[in-house]
Amino acid sequence: MARGDTVITGVAHLRPKESDRLQAVAAELAKMSREARETADGLVIRGGAPHGAVIHTFNDHRIAMSFAVAGLKAPGMRITDPDCVAKSFPDFWEFFDRLSR
């Protein structure tokens, strides 16, 4: 959502988690009309105004939670498999609902 390019480096360790989080973030940002290019150890994300999208979580709690936060600025977000957050934050959706009011 920032202007210009956001460059994230030094996060290659995110690839072998519940999902390849770099690939997942790039793919789901593309659904929001944001260009995100994977690098060997990070992402380059082109800023701008995103739009809502149906976000696939890859059964990864962190993908679900991060795109929920993005939905605060991009109305119309829908998170598939919202129950995947139970792994680390079972009450996330209730907390998030209170936070986003």
End-to-end CA distance of the chain: 21
User: Does residue 101 surpass a pLDDT of 80?
Assistant: no
Q: What is the mean pLDDT of the chain?
A: 94
Residue appearing with tokens 């150890």 = 41
Q: What domains sit in the chain, N to C, each tagged with a CATH number?
A: 5-99 (3.65.10.10)
| Strands 42-46 and 5-8, bridge-based pairing | antiparallel
Instruction: Tell me the C-alpha to C-alpha distance, in Å, between residue 39 and each of 7, 21, 57.
Output: 10, 12, 21
pLDDT at 100: 77
CB 15 within 8 A of CB 22: yes
Chain-centroid distance of CA 19 in Å reads: 12
Per-residue model confidence as pLDDT tens digits over 24-39: 999 999 999 999 999 9
